[in-house]
């Protein structure tokens, strides 16, 4: 905005439209605004944007799970921010043509150590039921007081967000001590690959374990 001092016959200073008024010892001048040249992003900036966009696309899809899985990780930070920060650092693999997600390291939940030390997955094609069974470290169970935590099984279609059910979770909740959890998989019109994760949550949602990637299944 330009300002006129001492009425219409006074001096003018400031910006008006595409020009700027400049007052010097020798008089009042009008100059064109300098053109701002947009710098092309550096290779490092482009690299960061690619990494950020890739991780962000999955965090946004998984955000309802992230809100629970990162709820107490580093409050008062937002679960979304925690999940972005962690997975940007830990869950990317550099490839010749860019990056890929390392699902073994991708975490949808952060908390106490996940106690599972061995597991198996069995998918029944006829009933469309996936059963996960596990054995766990009793030392971690007692140390972190997670005996009564409920299992939270998550199936995520990471490669195709156009599927009818990109995220599935178990309706009934089994305790850690039960050693098994079933999940009914809804029928799809085409073959879908799911990444399978599991973590354990306190009944009141005030605590949870890390997530564990169990592998992928095609249904």
Q: Specify whether 159 is located in the same domain as 202.
A: yes
Residue 84 gets the label, from left (phi > 0), alpha (psi -120 to 50) or beta, of alpha
**pLDDT for 117 beyond 50:** yes
* Domain assignment of residue 189, yes or no: yes
104 secondary structure, DSSP code: T
Is residue 2 very low, low, confident or very high in pLDDT (cuts 50, 70, 90)?
A: very low
CATH number of the domain within which 154 lies: 2.60.40.10
* Domain assignment of residue 142, yes or no: yes
**pLDDT for 3 beyond 60:** no
Q: Cα dist. 91→43, 52, 101, 107, 141 in Å? A: 21, 12, 6, 8, 26
Which residues constitute the domain of residue 170?
43-218
Model-wide pTM > 0.85: no
Q: What is the model's pLDDT at position 16?
A: 62
Q: What is the model's pLDDT at position 203?
A: 83
Q: Specify whether 19 is located in the same domain as 72.
A: no
pLDDT tens, 123-167? 998 899 999 999 999 999 999 999 899 999 999 998 876 788 899
* Domain assignment of residue 202, yes or no: yes
Q: Specify whether 107 is located in the same domain as 9.
A: no
* Domain assignment of residue 37, yes or no: no
- Give the total number of structural domains in the chain: 2
pLDDT tens, 120-134? 999 998 899 999 999
pLDDT tens, 32-90? 666 666 677 666 666 667 788 889 999 999 999 999 999 988 778 899 999 999 999 99
Q: Specify whether 90 is located in the same domain as 56.
A: yes
Paired residues of 131 in beta bridges: 122, 182
* Domain assignment of residue 209, yes or no: yes
Q: Specify whether 82 is located in the same domain as 19.
A: no
* Domain assignment of residue 203, yes or no: yes
């Amino acid at each position: 905005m330009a300002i006129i001092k001492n009425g219409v016959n006074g001096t003018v200073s400031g910006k008006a439209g595409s020009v700027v008024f400049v007052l010097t010892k020798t008089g009042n001048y009008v100059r064109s605004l300098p053109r701002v040249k947009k710098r092309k992003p550096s290779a490092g900036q482009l690299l960061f944007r690619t990494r950020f966009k890739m991780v962000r696309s999955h965090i946004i899809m998984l955000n309802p799970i992230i809100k629970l899985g990162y709820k107490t990780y580093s409050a008062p930070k937002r679960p979304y921010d925690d999940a972005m920060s962690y997975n940007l650092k830990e869950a990317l693999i550099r490839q010749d043509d860019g990056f890929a997600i390392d699902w073994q390291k991708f975490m949808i939940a952060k908390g106490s150590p996940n106690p599972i030390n061995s597991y198996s997955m069995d998918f029944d094609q006829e009933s469309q039921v996936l059963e996960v069974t596990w054995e766990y470290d009793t030392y971690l169970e007692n140390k972190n007081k997670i005996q009564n935590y409920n299992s939270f099984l998550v199936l995520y279609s990471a490669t195709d967000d156009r599927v009818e059910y990109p995220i599935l979770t178990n309706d009934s909740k089994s305790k850690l001590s039960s050693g098994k959890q079933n999940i009914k998989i809804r029928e799809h019109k085409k073959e879908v690959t799911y990444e399978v994760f599991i973590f354990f949550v306190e009944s009141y949602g005030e605590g949870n374990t890390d997530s564990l990637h169990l592998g992928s299944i095609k249904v």
